[in-house]
Chain A
């Protein structure tokens, strides 16, 4: 990278940290909205289908309300997604300049999916009442398909960063040949993509259900709330056991393909068999402190036998080890722990439903559902910390370091501070708007939107021009 040598090392390291924090923050914000874009249409269409098929007015009302809410979250998601597209270039210009021709292919496909989703979302949201019932329902179907297709494209681009292939470099390190299909179907796509799509369905299912659980805890125990809880919760509970299976597979694949990442989040220092699984704790070079150790379990989880050899960090060159091992380890444990707790919640619902065709009567069930939405989001973030921090110091595993990719532009910390303020306003605005809609719905205004007019200011002097 020309010019980097001229910078004092501390400055470029500070820039790198700022760029990584900014990327992580904007990604964490966007991923929640992206989940809504991927999985909410399926919940809406389920409710809409019940409404049409069974003449269920409550289900119909839910579908309409959720689609209104989605109008807001999709708009915010569209702009925060655009910010990420800009950030690829603004924060990591060297990465894009060198690998855009391989990394970008998946995004070109994503463009089609996103475009189609935006178009049919508009038709669906603005088509209530004017389109006939089933024509309207079918206008929503492309959203479900494009949501999944879009998730595939974006996540396979990320999995390519973890398991890059499908390109040839010349002596100067430039990409001279590409194989698009190998880029798209890289060795990591088959576990990363389903893991994220299922995560989206879990996040949205538990999140929407949690909103109605809170309503029920506040005494609003009508049929609408029951249905609003059950539709998304059923979807989430079906998905959760599959997710644990996919996640388990993913961890084993990471152990094979990215041993440094695996050793990082499992805090394995020495290569060997009979590795102990540590739950919680602090990772140090002398081993894990203050953790719950389970002898042999780590080796067993990787190869179904305690004799499985697992690579430790000692065998990874010092400058290729992931940073922040304790953070990685705790993020991994948080993801698995929350996932397991959500599986318990799913089993609870399934058992009681099987016995008496009803949700558990205790308020503790509703309390558990009420926190499940936030829990699922925390697990989602933890999972992205594992995969992204765990890949460091690489941006393209084995080919390009994140420090080589980062911009030379100054003032990233200021940009980060500005983005924090901006996104705080964006998040608060979205929540306030959704709450205002919900309040209007409770007051019987099904439109849920304020009437125009509006105006910049009453007095011309107050205008900015």
Chain B
């Protein structure tokens, strides 16, 4: 593996972490959005709030990580993506601002009407942000981002594949969130919420699976290079994803809780890495390869060193945060 390939792998690791953890935070927003009126939605919203509050900012940083690695290790690709897909990217940035502000503010305002307005802001933007990010990924996979940048501002992402990818991002976030909330509810022995989110996990899983199939069909039509590699080189990942998906389905129906989270995450992770393998060796199929886009060697070395430092500092710290959050040492009630 060349240094450029390793840098691309780091990029994919960042994308994986972001998809799993921030994806679940976005998904929590979707469940918040459709939890019904203030009375009916009180319990699930409180559960969602408790799960997201201590961790969402740390999870959000993976996005910064992705952006930084992309612009430092693959500056040309970054410029090309940004100068082409500026519409969905700007909308995603808008969503990030509204989501973060809505979430941070709503627990600190007095009146129910203000809480509703901010809660709705948080929840709606939690759906729109991953959707627009998904359209960006779909547009890249479709080969609609030319290496020299300044591609079509609208038709690059207003196509079936990017739109389906956007929907898939929303659905898989909702799926992960529901699974994580089932586990969280199980941990505190909240049977009602466990059942509530279990039903939703099932529904989201079926929707995500359906969207993945539709995406595969769109991939066949719009991104032939990626499709062809996905069904050959990427096949193991597709199979892993399907197996994990059915595993989760079985656990949910059989009320099993052990292994639920790893399997659900595995289904999503396999799709991300399958996509990476299917795109290889292109960063922007089929106009810019990883090696052509890569920064000079010393910069790549710097990225690799930074990543190693991050692995020994951030990952243990993140582990500590998640452990403390899971044991309720840090949390909303731990003021």
Contact = CB atoms under 8 A, between A and B. Distances in A.
A2 B148 contact: yes
Contact of B67 (A76, A85, A429, A457): A85
B60 A452 contact: no
B78 interface: yes
Interface stretch (B156-164, B168-176, B199-207, B296-304): B296-304
Interface in B265-322: 295-299, 301-303, 306, 309-310, 313-314, 317-318, 320-321
Given A78-B60, A454-B106, A108 B330 contact: no
Interface string B56-75: 01101101110111011111
B37 A455 contact: yes
- The A contact surface, by secondary structure, is helix
Contact of A96 (B34, B64, B71): B71
A427 to B, nearest CB: 10
Interface stretch (B118-126, B186-194, B214-222, B226-234): B118-126
A249 to B, nearest CB: 29
Contacts of A455: 35-39, 41-42, 45, 112, 115-116, 119
Given A102-B299, A454-B38, A426 B65 contact: no
Interface in B13-68: 32-39, 41-42, 45-46, 49, 53-55, 57-58, 60-61, 63-65, 67-68
Nearest to B38: A455
Interface stretch (B94-102, B177-185, B247-255): B94-102
A115 B310 contact: yes
Given A105-B302, A122-B330, A175-B295, A453 B78 contact: no
- The B contact surface, by secondary structure, is helix
Interface string A171-183: 0000111111000
Contacts of A418: 94
Given A112-B310, A120-B317, A177 B296 contact: yes
B1 to A, nearest CB: 19
B124 to A, nearest CB: 6
B249 to A, nearest CB: 26
Given A122-B321, A453-B42, A454-B119, A110 B82 contact: no
Given A97-B76, A105-B72, A180 B101 contact: no
B78 A75 contact: no
A242 interface: no
B235 interface: no
Given A107-B72, A452-B49, A408 B83 contact: yes
A130 B325 CA distance: 11
Nearest to B322: A119
B75 A178 contact: no
Interface stretch (B85-93, B237-245, B256-264): B85-93
Contacts of A97: 75-76, 78-80, 149
B72 A108 contact: yes
Contacts of A323: none
B68 A108 contact: yes
A98 B116 CA distance: 45
A76 B101 contact: yes
A231 interface: no
Contacts of B57: 74-75, 78, 118, 121-122
B197 interface: no
Contacts of A129: 334-335
A458 B39 CA distance: 8
27 contacts: A71-B104, A72-B108, A79-B96, A79-B100, A80-B97, A82-B93, A85-B67, A89-B71, A93-B83, A98-B75, A105-B302, A108-B69, A114-B61, A123-B54, A126-B53, A127-B334, A128-B335, A177-B296, A177-B297, A450-B109, A453-B42, A453-B115, A454-B116, A455-B39, A455-B41, A457-B120, A464-B120
Closest 8 CB pairs of A and B: A97-B79, A104-B72, A100-B75, A89-B82, A454-B115, A101-B295, A455-B38, A75-B104
